[in-house]
Amino acid sequence: MLAKLERTEGLKQADVAELMEMQPITLTRLIDKLCKAGLIERRGDETDRRINRLYLTKAARPLLAQLAVLRGEITQAALADISISDAHRLIAQLGTVKDNVRNALQGNAPVDSEKAKERHYG
């Protein structure tokens, strides 16, 4: 949640839930815990008082730096002895599997893998 919010600060809670593929109520519970821990804060929207936007606090920044180091170590260990091109291919294939499962659960047809690549970021 913190890493996702770092890249998308200021988004509405509903938009963050969609990005994280979580139900809004589940995300709200997580946000409540992170607010209580002093890692994120909700700020009202300037144009719509019903909307909360999410921001990291200063206290979250050192934790994010630690998480980045850990993420790098885990990635390096997980992809040891795998070429960069194979790693990219694996990530693309896993993305296709994820899309296929999501679509199957929603009763939709399989995803065209070329179109799916267009909407994936980073």
How far apart (Å, rounded) are the C-alpha atoms in residues 31 and 85?
A: 37
Tokens of 113: 């893998």
The pLDDT tens digits of the residues spanning 50-81 come to 888 999 999 999 999 999 999 999 999 999 99
DSSP state of 12: B
pLDDT at 105: 86
Stated pTM of the model: 0.68
How far apart (Å, rounded) are the C-alpha atoms in residues 19 and 25?
A: 14
For residue 64, what are the contacts with CB-CB under 8 A and spacing of at least 6? 2, 3, 6, 56
* Local confidence band at 111 (pLDDT 50, 70, 90 cut-offs): low
The pLDDT tens digits of the residues spanning 90-110 come to 999 999 998 899 888 888 766
Tokens of 73: 């170590």
How far apart (Å, rounded) are the C-alpha atoms in residues 75 and 93?
A: 17
